[in-house]
Amino acid sequence: MGNATRLPSAGRTTVLRDRELDEEVHCRVFPSGLTAYVVRKPEFTRSYATIATRYGSVDTQLRTNGRTRRLPDGIAHFLEHKVFETPEGDAFDLFASRGASANAFTSFTSTRYLFGTSENYEDNLRTLLDFVFDLHVTDANVEKEKGIIGQEIAMYADDPDWRIYFGALEAMYVRHPVRIDIAGTKETIATITPELLRDVHRAYYHPRIMALAAVSPAPVEATFDAVEERVEGRAFGPPPGPRSALPRESRRARRRQAEVRLAINRPRLLVAFKDAPPPKDPRAQLRLELASSIAFDCLFGNSGSIFLKLYEAGLVDDSFSGSYTAEASFAFAMAGGETDDATKLRATLERELAAALGRGITKEEFERTRNKAVGGFARAFNSPERIAQMLASHHLRGTTVRDYREILFALKLPEVNRRMAAMLAPAARCYSLVLPK
């Protein structure tokens, strides 16, 4: 759980106001432990809500009754598929019957369920709050899912962008489960049973580690009332205890380079930077994340010094992109794209990274890159989806959108430069390639 002292006490609602953006975030923590965030958008037609649990693919252990079990790879994602089964049929259909489109996704550290609708918001919200807490698995529906997910895994195996991403993670990490594909493999999911799914669901779908984020034209109370009605009456087991610590790895990349060959035309190269896990304090973590993202954007963004050099030299094209990722137990950055000549690109990158380290980021680069981030933050409020996912992500980290704005304005150039110097350390660097067969 994040920094609990910053959240309101149970039952009370706090409001975060952003006068410039003209937005308000209402937040309430319920006695069950569920935290709910609501942004009212009367000028919008659609409503969007997401419920997230702090359980993802890196949570490979399950502790029950003092016993710790190693879970099969891919089980968080498998469970995400199965949560949609209800005794009355598919939850997709329940949503659809009220005009909503539902979906879900599993990341390294969270599983999120969501729906968007232009009608019957409150009924759809009740469906969302019901189905995630009720698991209906049978031998037959678990077996059937193995075929479907098997094809999902096969699809990603042919996808060069997915392969290069996991190639980089495998090259960076030795033991940390972030190196394992979120969907697992055909072999690992073959061992999944209804019992195991029930155990995992009981442990990791607990309101204390979950958050709801909703954006709707409906009054704020409508969302809180639905939580009160559907979640607060339920019996939950004891809140999940502390999890086994994930392996702490050195900054050194496991391998210098990973390479895979696929039936493609265009070679691809990714440079990856293994970073130290962020500090425990949520605000400190966010600050580090923002400083690192800005440093990375100064090098690899649309106006980034390295990106522009590579682009103008014809070594990369507009398929090039990069980003910084930080979660509680790991952090890394990656940048890359299609290229004619992966060897030459790699050599040029090495040279440019050394030059960037020597040069540092200038005050001017820093200021305009931050300006861009300010605009990006405002732009995110265009979309109910983005707002809700942003609120959920902040909650999982233990911060708020207000922290984001405050820290963004408080950042100083020297810390951005320190982040750049730390990230670009040569031992922490590795490459992932996907080449034509």
Residues recorded for the chain: 437
- 4, 10, 15, 155: residue in contact with other proteins (rule CB under 8 A): 155
- 373, 388, 428, 430: residue in contact with other proteins (rule CB under 8 A): 373
Q: Is 430 in the site for other proteins (CB under 8 A)?
A: no
Total interface residues for other proteins by CB under 8 A: 65
CB of 266 to other proteins, least distance (A): 5
Residues 6+ apart with CB under 8 A from 245: 329
CB of 120 to other proteins, least distance (A): 9
Beta bridge partners of 380: none
- Of 5 and 265, nearer to other proteins (C-beta) is 265
Distances (CA, A) of 219 to 7, 42, 94: 22, 9, 23
Q: Could you give the maximum distance between any two Cα atoms of the chain, in Å?
A: 63
CB of 352 to other proteins, least distance (A): 14
**Residue linked to tokens 């990341």:** 107
Q: Is 265 in the site for other proteins (CB under 8 A)?
A: yes
CB of 142 to other proteins, least distance (A): 12
Active-site residue, from 23, 43, 80, 385: 80
Phi (first) and psi of residue 431, to 5 degrees:
-125, 145
Piece of the chain touching other proteins by CB under 8 A; list 28-36, 42-50, 233-241, 418-426: 42-50
Neighbours of 162 (CB within 10 A): 16
CB of 20 to other proteins, least distance (A): 6
Q: Is 250 in the site for other proteins (CB under 8 A)?
A: no
- Of 27 and 102, nearer to other proteins (C-beta) is 102
Q: Is 375 in the site for other proteins (CB under 8 A)?
A: yes
- 16, 96, 222, 425: residue in contact with other proteins (rule CB under 8 A): 96
The string of DSSP codes covering 87-130 is TTEEHHHHHHTTTEEEEEEE-SS-EEEEEEESS-HHHHHHHHHH
Sign of the CA dihedral running 304, 307, 313, 317: negative
Residue type, 378: A
Beta bridge partners of 80: none
Q: Is 149 in the site for other proteins (CB under 8 A)?
A: yes
Residues in 346-365 at the binding interface with other proteins, rule: CB under 8 A? none
- Of 42 and 238, nearer to other proteins (C-beta) is 42
d(CA 319, CA 9): 47
Sign of the CA dihedral running 102, 106, 111, 112: negative
- Of 59 and 73, nearer to other proteins (C-beta) is 73
Token output for 266: 């265009």
The string of DSSP codes covering 173-202 is -SS-GGGS-TT--HHHHHT--HHHHHHHHH
Piece of the chain touching other proteins by CB under 8 A; list 31-39, 149-157, 228-236, 325-333: 149-157
**Minimal CA–CA distance to 271: which of 228, 304, 242?**
304
Token output for 405: 């704005």
- Establish whether 80 is a catalytic residue: yes
CB of 9 to other proteins, least distance (A): 32
Piece of the chain touching other proteins by CB under 8 A; list 3-11, 29-37, 128-136, 314-322: 314-322
Piece of the chain touching other proteins by CB under 8 A; list 64-72, 141-149, 241-249, 407-415: 141-149
Angle between helices 305-312 and 282-300 (to 10 degrees): 30
d(CA 135, CA 39): 29
Q: Is 111 in the site for other proteins (CB under 8 A)?
A: no
Q: Is 90 in the site for other proteins (CB under 8 A)?
A: yes
Q: Which residues bind to other proteins, rule: CB under 8 A? A: 20-22, 41, 43-46, 90, 92-93, 96-101, 116-119, 144-145, 147-149, 151-152, 154-155, 157-160, 262-266, 302-303, 308, 311-312, 314, 317-319, 338, 340, 368-369, 371-376, 378-379, 381-384, 437
Active site residues: 80
